[in-house]
Amino acid sequence: MPKFKKILHPEKFNLILYYTLTSFVIIVILSFVIGKVFARLESQELVKRSEKYAHNFITHINYELYKDFLIPTLKKSGKIDLENNRRQLRKLDNTVKENLYGLNIKKLYLYDLEGNIIYSTLSEHIGFAINRGENKKLDSAINGIPASALRLSGTVDSKGAYVPETLLESYYPFYEMDAEGTKKAQVGVLEIYQDMSALKKQIAKAHQKATLMTGSAMGGLFIALYLIVLKASRIIDARTRQLTEARNTLEQNVEERTLEIREAYKKLQHTQRRLVQSEKLASIGTLATGLAHEINNPLASVAGCAEGLNERLISILNRPGKYTEKEELEIFSEYLKIISNETYRCKSIISNLLNFSRQSEPHFERIDINSIIKNTIDSLQYHQPENKAKQKIQVNLSEMPCEIIGDPQQIKQVFINLITNSFHATEAGGEIIIATLQKETTVQILFRDTGVGIKPEYLNRIFDPFFTTKPTEKGTGIGLSICYGIVDMHNGRIDVFSEGEGRGAVFEITFPLAGKQDNAERTG
């Protein structure tokens, strides 16, 4: 069975071989069956012909017996007595044998209507009686209906005798007749045994003939179909070869395309790196321009004040007596105050930038946003206890742990900046709400305040470095840009919403939930 399965495997399948084998089996079976059918038909035909022959013969011998035996004997002796009159029996025997001579008839029996054998070509059978019901064919003929039975060689006949050669037993009604041969009443039954030994040969011949004819017809068909199948098989082979070649070419093409894509991807990565690099350069440029602008003003003031002070000092020193007026000293104090303020402003800008640059190497770990928020609020209230009195802070932290992968210091820096901005924007009595939310794949943090709000035209700009609406001594415009950078580095996003001036502001930060994003991807 496994071998058979193996042969049926598409790659092993041989169309021609299968066609030949199945055709051969079908031809053999069909030839045999058709031969059998033909032999049977032939046999039926032969039996029919023999029955017809028996009918003609019996009609003939019926007449002959009347003409040559019964009528003359009755005329001469007045009655028929075959049992006791040997001469009558001999005459009848001679008449029968004369008529049988040269014919294919082996035996003849004459029965009366009781089933008694009144004459037989086998004299020893004369006088035997066959009871009604013992022989159905005889009964049928006694009732006026001819009947016959084929006895095959090797079986027994109606008398129980062995049949060496196939024969046909035919029973016909025997009639009384006048001199013209017209049938009158039935007086008995005539039975003849026809030799059918030729039948066997004829049947065998018919079988042979039919087998031969079917075989040759099927053979012809086989050859015609074989040529078609052969052609089809060649076409299939050619197509298979083409398909295999196409598949190989396709594989090669796929490989080539993959290489090309890989190459293109490398180029893309290279270009992306260059873009990032140029973007970095651009932001450094923007930062430098902003920084220069921010620091230039205070430095110019410092320089102006210093120069003014120097000129005034020289004029005082060159003055005879070197006295100094009180107003002059007040101007000195004013200038020095300006110098001090502007210098502090520069210091603040620089230290903010330094803070940021020091933290630029992040240390990622699994952190809980809720605890960082608590910690931030504690430290802010510790450093700025006066805030406690002015604004109300409401904290709604998620009950689910809001864990992200991040640098705790940098995240704290973001929260400090946002909360400090809200403090600055909110008047005494205002409210600051901080909430966290754990979503399916993200953590969300909201900073909402009821402060001054943001003008719609500023919403797009507030994350730009050095964008500030605060007076020079209070704002540097660096806080939110630092927040943006940190959130971005954590693969998060920061958004701002405000319905306008005086209507408060909302800052919303979204981070990927720890475990939902590959850490390496983030650090990379």
Q: Can you give the binding site for ligand ADP, defined by CB under 6 A? A: 417, 421-422, 425, 449, 451-454, 462, 467-470, 475-481, 505
Q: How far is the CB of 391 from ligand ADP (least distance, A)?
A: 11
The residues pairing with 150 across neighbouring beta strands, listed in sequence order, are 168
Q: Which is nearer to ligand ADP, 298 or 479 (by Cβ)?
A: 479
Q: Which is nearer to ligand ADP, 249 or 460 (by Cβ)?
A: 460
Q: How far is the CB of 444 from ligand ADP (least distance, A)?
A: 18
Token readout for 182 is: 């017209």
Spatial distance between the Cα atoms of 211 and 216, rounded to a whole number of angstroms? 8
Q: How far is the CB of 331 from ligand ADP (least distance, A)?
A: 31
Q: How far is the CB of 455 from ligand ADP (least distance, A)?
A: 9
Spatial distance between the Cα atoms of 33 and 337, rounded to a whole number of angstroms? 129
Q: Which is nearer to ligand ADP, 30 or 489 (by Cβ)?
A: 489
Q: Which is nearer to ligand ADP, 216 or 355 (by Cβ)?
A: 355
Q: Which is nearer to ligand ADP, 492 or 504 (by Cβ)?
A: 504
How far from chain centre, in Å, is Cα 124? 88
Q: Residue 327: which residues within 8 A CB-CB, separation 6 or more?
A: none
Spatial distance between the Cα atoms of 189 and 478, rounded to a whole number of angstroms? 140
Q: How far is the CB of 523 from ligand ADP (least distance, A)?
A: 26
Q: How far is the CB of 496 from ligand ADP (least distance, A)?
A: 8
Q: How far is the CB of 502 from ligand ADP (least distance, A)?
A: 10
Pairing verdict, β 431-438 and 403-406: unpaired
Q: Which is nearer to ligand ADP, 79 or 383 (by Cβ)?
A: 383
User: Residue 453 in contact with residue 327, Cβ under 8 Å?
Assistant: no
Question: Which amino acid is residue 283, in one-letter code?
Answer: S
Q: How far is the CB of 507 from ligand ADP (least distance, A)?
A: 7
Give, in order, the Cα–Cα distances in Å from 192 to each of 55, 104, 111, 343, 516.
10, 10, 11, 154, 108
The 10 Å Cβ neighbour count of residue 409 is 13
Q: Which is nearer to ligand ADP, 154 or 500 (by Cβ)?
A: 500
Q: Which is nearer to ligand ADP, 65 or 425 (by Cβ)?
A: 425
DSSP state of 104: S
Give, in order, the Cα–Cα distances in Å from 347 to each of 225, 295, 351, 420, 485.
102, 9, 6, 19, 22
Question: Nearest residue to ligand ADP, using CB?
Answer: 479
Spatial distance between the Cα atoms of 430 and 283, rounded to a whole number of angstroms? 36
Helix (H), strand (E) at residue 417: helix 408-425
